[in-house]
Structure 1
Amino acid sequence: MGSAEPSGPPGTGGAGPWPPGEERLAELLGFLRRRLTGEYEVDEFGFDPEFSDSVLLPLLRPLYRHWFRVEVLGAEHVPADSGALVVANHAGGMLPLDALMLQVALHDEAGRHVRLLGADLVYRLPLLNHLARKGGHTLACPEDAARLLAKGELVGVFPEGYKGIGKPFSERYRLQRFGRGGFIVTAIRAQVPIIPCAIVGAEEIYPKLGEIPVLDRLLGLPYVPVTPFFPWFGLLGLVPLPSKWAIEFGEPIRTDEYDVADAEDQFLVLDLTDRVRETIQHRLEALRAHRGPAFRFGPFAVEFGRFGC
């Protein structure tokens, strides 16, 4: 397994200092000028690469580098400039921080923007809808995924959906069902490889002990979790715990060995779905062992599971 030391140009997550303060200020002023004059481009899905690189990713990097201390393994398995479908386990509790950390990892360690497919709930909220689309995310539907893959984009999907982020802490890192294999159908039709991705660390940031069904219905959310800190500490309870993260990209699973018509073969689709799921489950177990304790405070290391939590 490789190291997670960042590499790349300054300001994009790579090694080396940020540009001098004057240069950073000039970059910021240039960004604001282009915003005011409309001299920037977005694609048909609303993706704004300059916004992502200049605003979103810099805001996320302190979490990525210093709070979660993310280690990335297997970045060499991500295609450099062709379409692929990244399939990952889902967790993170109330906020989709696993998706955002995956976005930083792929940009900074593999040099790719990932187009994450999100649930329709995200796109029913006006402000969140706007920010998600500017950051490169789009609705999780086969048509959008197919169009992105046809353009050679890297697309990310979490087949567990709400079941992944809503499972109790006692079931952490046990993959839920991957649905009926819609992502397999999409990959075969697009003739692109599937990159299995295991994410360790997100399950510990909001340990879910229960939920509040009344608030679920009032807010129209899949669930409102009860954690050791929420709702007891109010908004402070929304601060994610500083667990140690590791993200691993596995060897590509080819789909161009199949005919496009094979996407209609339900037995094949389900078999490949199980294969991808089992691959990620196996890597999750190995990655947890590689990471070690989720928390370290000075000389003390803490792994909740060892105390029966």
Structure 2
Amino acid sequence: MPRKPRVEYAGAIYHVMSRGNHQEAIFRDGRDGEIFLDTLGEACGRTGWRIHAFVLMGNHYHLLLETPEANLVAGMKWLQGTYTQRFNGRHKLWGHLLQGRYKALLVDGSGGDYFLTVSNYIHLNPARTKGFDAAKERLSDFAWSSFPLYGRPTKRPEWLCVDRTLGCLGLEDSAYGRRRFREYMNKRALEVSESDRPMEYGPGWAHIRRGWCFGTEAFRRDMLERMDELSGKRESFSGAEVKLHDERQAEAFVQQGLRVLGLREAELVRLPKGADDKVLLAWLIRRHTAVSNVWIAERLRMGRADCLSRYPKRIDETTDEALLEKRERLRAITRLRD
């Protein structure tokens, strides 16, 4: 039976979860966690995603993710593929790291109750593990979660958004609001750890674990209508609708890059396929967008797409002073760190 297409639309909210292949660890140590969060930050820069909550749990992870553009599929493909490459490269492994298809539960964000329930579910994951003693431990002691960052505004990455979760409780991102949120969550953690069924604790938790949609009946009907519209129309997920954000973003980088390098559009045709300036533009686009190699090769007149992957590495590893100077000028466009 073919898989149903993902429901994607601007402003959608998802609870995303993925496990390690054969339940194996996808975070072997703290460095793996750092690499995943760095990769997640890059994915947010490429897609515009907003992360409201996350937790990394050894052999799986959870995200409460909002997509201002309809680009969950493209972004998740890049995120999981890139992290797998980095994990395998670090541990000298190969093959699949993650198990099957990631779960993406559609979340109703209109009223706040469903959104807050999912946020709590994610933040309380450590409290549901064996050995957690809420009388002696605090959720903030668990480093691989967004919960400690809620209380440390100077440590938060730009892509982590706390206002919506706090707002569901009538709180603001202030010293008072952060303290009240911490007290609320620590109380919930104690309740979960003392529960006979911590995995099913709280209204709606069983539905979060097993459902495809979490919200009001009206929200569910809306999602079913969207799914019906997409049924049998897989191209709506792989064609122009999904790729619109990425291609628009990539084109903006092309235009900015041309100006920085002092090139005219016509020179893209005249220059050799592997010319330094073309390679620099390809590096810029590959680093900061999720468009395909085919798009880059065609747009920059660089020949075969399967030859493109070696070019960005050439820029990353260059010692040529002229290329380094141009690379730094292009980096100034994005204001992103390596």
TM range (shorter): under 0.3
Question: Whose radius of gyration is greater, 1 or 2?
Answer: 2
Task: Name whichever structure is richer in strand by fraction.
Answer: 1
Q: With CA pairs under 8 Å and 6+ residues apart, which has the higher RCO, 1 or 2?
A: 1
TM-score by length of 1: 0.26
Task: Name whichever structure is richer in helix by fraction.
Answer: 2
TM-score by length of 2: 0.24
